[in-house]
Amino acid sequence: MLFMKRVVITGLGAITPLGNSVEEFWNNIVAGKSGAAPLTKFDTSKFKTKFGCEVKGFEATDYIEKKEIKKYDLYTQYAIAASDQAIKDAGLDFAAMPEEERYEVGVIWASGNGGIGTFEEQLKEYHLGDGTPRFSPYLIPKMIVDIAAGVISIRNKLYGPNYATVSACASSNTAIINAFDTIRTGKASIMVAGGSEAAITPSSIGGFNAAQALSKRNDDPEGASRPFDKTRDGFVAGEGAGALILEELEHALQRGAKIYAELVGGGMAADAYHLTGTHPDGLGAYLGMTKALKDAGITADQVDYVNAHATSTELGDVSELLGVKKVFGDHPVAISATKSMTGHLLGAAGAVESLICILALQHDTIPATINVTELDEHIPEGLNIIRGASVQQPLTYVLNNTFGFGGHTASSIFKKYTP
């Protein structure tokens, strides 16, 4: 039988609509601040949705040499920034680490859309021209979904496992679970994991509008993302990145690393139901959560908090809570939907919400679901949904749910670290 190693979190990084550092991000989450505002990246005058949760005040030159920036799509720039923060936060100096030690350090980085902004810009230039294919030599490496993982590896000379995960909005939770499995089975000692997204673009907003997925509450952007609320009308698009340093426990202890939390379980499953809709009974959510509990070796009544995927869509929110009710029964697990503040970061959502789960454990604080005035009557009764304001509560285990178009589900469980 394979002996599973323990895996801890030793570094965090964040580029988000609520701040470009972990501290700023967490403070705004606890305060219940919304990151939504009118969009500035393109002219939205003819779009049904004119707002979203953009990253604000991001300066790529804080992390990347000016001459290098043109090589990277914005989603990769966010990945570089968040991973640099996390590596620094973990106290890791890869440049000073012997090369053979870096053979055991890898990167798994996720994105649902990759360089969609670059792709749009290049096609626009092509169609506005005379038909001559004058594409940038950087088009392909800027566009492909795996390039952020590759760039993080190249920048830090990390020679361990390196790839991208794509499971739509479950992508970065999947990346974190895969990194967890890589370490605990002895295939790496340290993994940089997370996800980034920069998909606030005309085709993305237009496409989600056409799918009837986005809120059109243009007169109230800050109140538009309202998971579980009776009057919700769709999700609010977000962008940014979240990065985690996962490390084998003994390795972390030997170098005297600070430890934020322990990752103890991950479960992945599928709805096997619909291209974009979740199973009405929450089957995929139920399977992902129960697999994560089994993997962690704990029972449902040991979980203190669930960070729900809840995007503020009519069917998705209810189906997830049906799955939660089936898993947890009458156990009063606290539930909140932080997308009410961040918007939906698509492929980066799982990583950013993992940061929230880890910081919740650190501070014994459960963030609230904001903008909820009246619960949807289809939500199961008896659920402990935290709304209005964050609450102080001792926490030991927290569970993070993420689901994606195509029926993908991923649930991870973090535990308060005890030596």
Looking at the annotation, which residues are catalytic?
169
Buried residues in 99-126 as b, exposed as e (16+ CB within 10 A) = eeebebbbbbbbbbbbbbbbbbbbeeee
d(CA 334, CA 387): 10
Within 10 Å of residue 39's Cβ, how many Cβ atoms? 19
Q: Is-contact 379 335, C-beta < 8 A? A: no
Q: Is-contact 337 308, C-beta < 8 A? A: yes
- What is the 3-class SS of 319-382, one letter each residue? HHHHHHHHHHCCCCCEEECCHHHHCECHHHHHHHHHHHHHHHHHHCEECCECCCCCECCCCCCC
Q: Is-contact 362 205, C-beta < 8 A? A: no
Within 10 Å of residue 66's Cβ, how many Cβ atoms? 8
Assign 181 to helix, strand or coil. Answer: helix
